[in-house]
Structure 1
Amino acid sequence: MSLKNIFTIIKESLNGENHDFTTGSIRRAVFLLAVPMILELSLESVFALVDIFFVGKLGENAIASVGLTESVITLVYSMAMGLSTAAGAVVARRVGEKDLEGAAHAGAQSLIIGFIISIILTAVGMIYAGDILAVMGASKEVVADGAIFTRIMFGGSISITLIFLINGIFRGAGNAAMAMKSLWIASFINILLCPILIHFFGLKGAAMATVTGRTSGVVYQVYHLIKGNGKLKFKILHFGFDGTVVKNIINIAWPATLQFIIASGSWIAVARLVAETGGTAASAGYQIAIRNVIFFILPAWGLSNAAATLVGQNLGAKEIHRAEKSVIITAKYNAVFMGAVMLIFLFFSNHIIRFFTTDAEVIKYGVKALQTFGSAYIFYGIGMVMTQALNGAGDTKTPTWINFICFWLLQIPLAWYLAKPLQMHAGGAFLSIPIAETILAIAAWYFFKRGKWKEVKV
């Protein structure tokens, strides 16, 4: 593929044109989907770094508050991503079958489910904000300073849920450019408001900026779902409750949600162990490192989402070999990208962490965490593609079991054993992450090659 052709494909992918991803060049299809998905999540990861940069100026208590809150609020993200996975799988399958009315109807039903669940999560999070931080092992000072931040973030659960869910619908339909634009709007507003609101309102200003940005992105999404000119156009009749479709979505969504909750729960457990065995400095260093990990993982996640869409649509079109080949090609691209990131983390971690803080103790822990996490980055990339391929086929139960075994039966006990009985403290907790992720990648590859995902009906 020549440089000129690459630029042509990039331009085409960003225009948001309608494409049939069940025919033609697979490499071209991967690029058309992956470019906007990578750019979509790249700006999201830029915001994560900008946010922690400005929050970092407020001190280690503020960093710890944000980190611990986001460790817990990943449960909201898990629910949103679980529903997004289900909606994307069903929508992609209907689009592959050329049933666009069925795709829009399934997407509308998933929105009903997401709205109801997010209302419940909002209420729980706002009422028990301080208790949530305390359970996470935060000091009294961190709870006192950070409870309002936690309360506002949970208050925005509806926006968090909808922005990820609707983007899953867009991606399932193959309109990755629209998903990119909505998250860009949300992230740009976040980045613009973050330093301003932090200046006037302190830590809670960061939460206000995030919720405002997410809500703006959702407004943009809803407009295009109703008035847009893409493949899907939502109408009032699509929102009439359909028990059969809702049941189908829930059957795919609950394992996917549990899948992400399991993964999130393991990160929460590690974050708590770090706070217990290393103190506030270790917790702050860990959170800065995690933000940088997210910065580079999200683009890889975007590439993995491209694989999910291609699997779903090609299974719908009965192009099973094409679906499998799409995943292999995407995994190769992701491995190359993540291998380059691994080298950056191993050799430039000190410079990266110093950009966010001047506290020597925080820097020490941050560098150690970043180097440890980065040591298995290639495996992260391969595991993400394989897992998302299974999810895109509607086989959400297999990745859930893989996550449960690798994270809860392996990573959490290993983190505890290394950190406490072996007295490796925070460093031991760090080490459990690359070990578990490597085993997960191998397991996901094995189950993908077995091929039972090809028989899943959605």
Structure 2
Amino acid sequence: MFVQAAQSIAEAYFASLLGVSALAGLALVFPLVMLSQMLSAGSIGGAISSAVARALGAEDAERAGGLALAAWIIAIAVAVCSAVAMHFLGPRIFAALGGTGDSVVAAVTYASVFFPGCICLWLCHSTLSVIRGTGDMRVPSLLLLLVSTGSIPLSGALALGWGPFPALGMAGLPAGLLTAYAIGAIAGIGFVVTGRSGLVLRGAWTRLSADLFLDILKVGALASVNGVLTVLTIVLMVGMVGRYGEAALAGYGLGARLEFLMIPVVFGIGAAMTAMVGINIGAGQVARARRIAWTGACAAAAIVGGIGIVLAVVPDLWLGIFLAADDSATLAVGRAYFRTVAPLYAFFGFGLALYFACQGAGRMLWPVVGSVSRIVLAVGGAALLSATAGFGVRGVFIAIATGMLGYGLITGLAVWRSTWERRTPS
């Protein structure tokens, strides 16, 4: 997952070489791209892992195989729907977020390639989620490592025209990414279909039923609401920051990108938590499942919080990768973001890790409540501080930090007070 984060950093760097307008355009489209990543790998993907793990914990290998087939059907359906939605709504969304002129053109160019091809991403992540549900973390990690590593030179070559490759500009960034994910999807599906994952796929078509889809979607739907709320928080903040100009949008975009990069870092722990909690819940080992949840949440808080503290002290460690010294306006916004928000990253990591644990337990209500609290605190606080109290763009950042604090505390308190028990398939 750290390598996948490096891929996202490289993409922002390549965009910076295309100009500030490209960087601002990437800030507009990035939350929606990250939403696809979060839904495919975390929300629906985590629900897939949880369902497969609970089936195997209850020693029902045939049901686990049927769930794998249902997962692929769901992935294809969601990918097609997202492509259609972005075709019709994309330009309006980018304009509503405060984008103008060249930044909107750059965002639309990126989206016109990414969303029609995101079926590759969805099939890759859904397949890796099936494999994680069996308890195998090695194969998904290896495949994601290869996908992320391969996408970096592919995106750079297609965007900037290295060697024999055409210089496609913004369109080249998603083209390289999706090519790598297509290869990963083929490899992952081959691993499952050939029986190396241990799942029973023979006769899976005849065993397909509404119950299998519901087992994934009853957890995945609430988890998706949580993911949408997380991204919606960033999107609304992008809209508020966009009122302060292109330089402010680019500066905040770099800060928001690192905030999003904390998600795959936590996912590295959370994906294991989902499978481990799910298997233990399926086997009736509730106390052990809860110990796994708290251990993983504390580890995620320590890792993400440590990164936040470093960047709060030295923000140019990140900003200097993308900005020159004479980009003073953009640098000032980016520094203000990190000095205000980054010290609270630990609470974001803590709450997000518990979200993955709740997926494994099949209990998603309270993580959604935590996300609702976060968006209320962030959006309401930003409107109050930036407009009424006259804090300007810094008021938006104070509100974002307050939302992270509330998210971590509310989710942690809810999990501490809740009771998990085994759920048997209906």
Q: Tell me the TM-score normalized by structure 1.
A: 0.86
Deviation at 1:397, TM superposition (A): 2.3
Match of 1:21 in 2: none
Match of 2:31 in 1: 71
Match of 1:206 in 2: 173
Match of 1:15 in 2: none
Deviation at 1:145, TM superposition (A): 3.4
The question of whether the paired residues in 1 share the 8 Å contact of 2:28 and 2:107 is answered with no
Paired letter, 2:143: S
The question of whether the paired residues in 2 share the 8 Å contact of 1:109 and 1:239 is answered with no
- Deviates further, 312-321 or 123-132: 123-132
Counterpart mapping for 1:55-454 below 5 A: 55-80=15-40, 81-199=42-160, 200-232=167-199, 234-235=201-202, 237-238=204-205, 241-276=208-243, 278-358=244-324, 359-407=327-375, 409-454=376-421
Q: Distance in 2 between matches of 1:146 and 1:342?
A: 28
Match of 2:14 in 1: 54
- Deviates further, 266-275 or 375-384: 375-384
CA change 1:170–1:371 in 2 (3 A) is farther
CA change 1:382–1:134 in 2 (3 A) is same
Paired letter, 1:355: I
Q: Deviations over 1:339-374 (max 9, x none)?
A: 321321122212321121111211111122122221
Deviation at 1:281, TM superposition (A): 0.7
Paired letter, 1:379: F
Q: Deviations over 1:242-276 (max 9, x none)?
A: 11221232222211111111111111101111111
Q: Deviations over 1:70-129 (max 9, x none)?
A: 222344334423221221111111121222221121121122122112112112213443
SS at structure 1 position matched to 2:98: coil
CA change 1:343–1:314 in 2 (3 A) is same
Q: Distance in 1 between matches of 2:186 and 2:231?
A: 28
Q: Deviations over 1:231-250 (max 9, x none)?
A: 33544634753112212322
Deviation at 1:213, TM superposition (A): 1.6
Q: Distance in 2 between matches of 1:216 and 1:170?
A: 17
SS at structure 2 position matched to 1:454: coil
Q: Deviations over 1:312-336 (max 9, x none)?
A: 1111111111111112222232233
Deviation at 1:138, TM superposition (A): 0.5
SS at structure 2 position matched to 1:229: coil
Q: Distance in 2 between matches of 1:213 and 1:304?
A: 23
SS at structure 1 position matched to 2:55: helix
Q: Does 1:42 align with 2:2?
A: yes
Q: Distance in 2 between matches of 1:85 and 1:327?
A: 14
The question of whether the paired residues in 1 share the 8 Å contact of 2:80 and 2:116 is answered with no
Q: Distance in 2 between matches of 1:72 and 1:249?
A: 23
- Count of residue correspondences: 416
CA change 1:258–1:295 in 2 (3 A) is closer
Q: Kindly, what percent of the aligned residue pairs are identical?
A: 20
Q: Distance in 1 between matches of 2:179 and 2:224?
A: 25
Paired letter, 1:344: V
Q: Name the Cα RMSD after superposition.
A: 1.9
Deviation at 1:179, TM superposition (A): 1.3
SS at structure 1 position matched to 2:388: coil
CA change 1:296–1:205 in 2 (3 A) is same
Deviation at 1:456, TM superposition (A): 4.5
Q: Distance in 2 between matches of 1:383 and 1:132?
A: 28
Q: Deviations over 1:134-172 (max 9, x none)?
A: 122211222233322111111122122222222222222
Q: Distance in 1 between matches of 2:208 and 2:62?
A: 15
Q: Which runs of 5+ in 2 are unaligned?
A: 161-166
- Deviates further, 170-179 or 141-150: 141-150
Paired letter, 1:43: V
CA change 1:245–1:297 in 2 (3 A) is closer
SS at structure 1 position matched to 2:115: helix
Q: Distance in 2 between matches of 1:59 and 1:164?
A: 31
Paired letter, 1:145: A
The question of whether the paired residues in 2 share the 8 Å contact of 1:89 and 1:394 is answered with yes
Q: Distance in 2 between matches of 1:434 and 1:69?
A: 22
The question of whether the paired residues in 2 share the 8 Å contact of 1:127 and 1:151 is answered with no
CA change 1:448–1:364 in 2 (3 A) is same
CA change 1:298–1:247 in 2 (3 A) is closer
Deviation at 1:62, TM superposition (A): 0.3
Q: Tell me the TM-score normalized by structure 2.
A: 0.92
The question of whether the paired residues in 1 share the 8 Å contact of 2:373 and 2:403 is answered with no
